[in-house]
Amino acid sequence: MIALGIEGTAHTLGIGITTEDKVLANIFDTLTTEKGGIHPKEAAEHHAKLLKPLLRRALQEAGVKIEDVNVIVFSQGPGLGPALRVVATAARALALRYSKPIVGVNHCIAHVEVSKLYGDVRDPVGLYVSGGNTQVIALKGGRYRVFGETLDIGIGNAIDTFARELGIGFPGGPKIEKLAQKGEKYIELPYAVKGMDLSFSGILTEVVRKYKSGKYRIEDLAYSFQETAFAALVEVTERALAHTGKDEVVLVGGVAANNRLREMLKAMAEDRGAKFYVPPYDLCRDNGAMIAYTGLKMFKAGIRFKIEETTVKQKFRTDEVEVTWS
């Protein structure tokens, strides 16, 4: 069977086409800025403008026609309302025009599910790190349970906000990582792990305050920010691994591109005798293939959506979804 997935929860529009075990196409385009962040209206306009050309490219790359597709899948949430609505409207239009079934997917779950396409991943603890979301999740009792999450802002958002204060534009992650690689001195910053949850607002406020004081090298601040924030992420993931008794860890989401975070998480997993996986980056970042793949698994498990059930959910919780397909 073939699924066509449309991702558009935030700044990236992605069109993916997959079978049960193979990615046929994974096309995406990300809205970027030289300075400042992304406004939801701008993201929606970006997605609306590029939907048709990206869809044509994806079908061409996959070597299929829209008539060959068995199910249309879209990211139902969580995310930016205007961007989500563009994607949902496009998915409904395709489903109705070509008489195809439609499935809405939880964006966070799709990030973890797609890791099972690679590396013999079966039942992992997932550290999902992106702009809007930071969660440690794992499948237990028929749902993806959230064992730890940010209490305020996502780690990606914190990094991008720091970058914006430095005037280096969006996305800020790769630029902050490069600065951090030149860091020579650790500067103490707030470390906030509260039970199994995390907070990044305090470290962000303090690193910006220190930057504005003019007393510290930017490279040292970037290095210290990464070391402190990533240590907290690894600590909570380790606790979830111990609690669940699982022996696999996957790192997913846009921040999974950061080599230092990979290094720290891999060391922790190896110390605990667990396997560590990171999907190819095109499947870590927001993408349509993960939406298509997860939606196809749901569809094959008998999950069906009526058109009136395809409204978007800006605050779609990971643990709302009953998992009947894994």
Annotated binding residues, written as ranges, equal 107, 111, 128-132, 160, 173, 177, 258, 286
Three-state SS at 52 = helix
Please choose, from the candidates 313, 14, 324, 30, the residue with its C-alpha nearest in 3D space to the C-alpha of residue 170: 30
Query: Residue 125 in contact with residue 240, Cβ under 8 Å?
Result: yes
DSSP class of 310: -
Q: Using the structure block, give the residue that is written with the tokens 């402190």.
A: 228
Q: Report d(CA 72, CA 29) in Å as an integer.
A: 20
Nearest 5°: CA angle at 73, between 24 and 106? Answer: 110
Q: Residues forming the annotated binding site for substrate?
A: 128-132, 160, 173, 177, 258
Which H or E run includes 283? helix 281-284
Query: Residue 226 in contact with residue 173, Cβ under 8 Å?
Result: no
Type of residue at 41: K
Q: Residues forming the annotated binding site for Fe cation?
A: 107, 111, 128, 286
β-strands 125-129, 134-140: how paired? antiparallel
Q: Report d(CA 324, CA 315) in Å as an integer.
A: 22
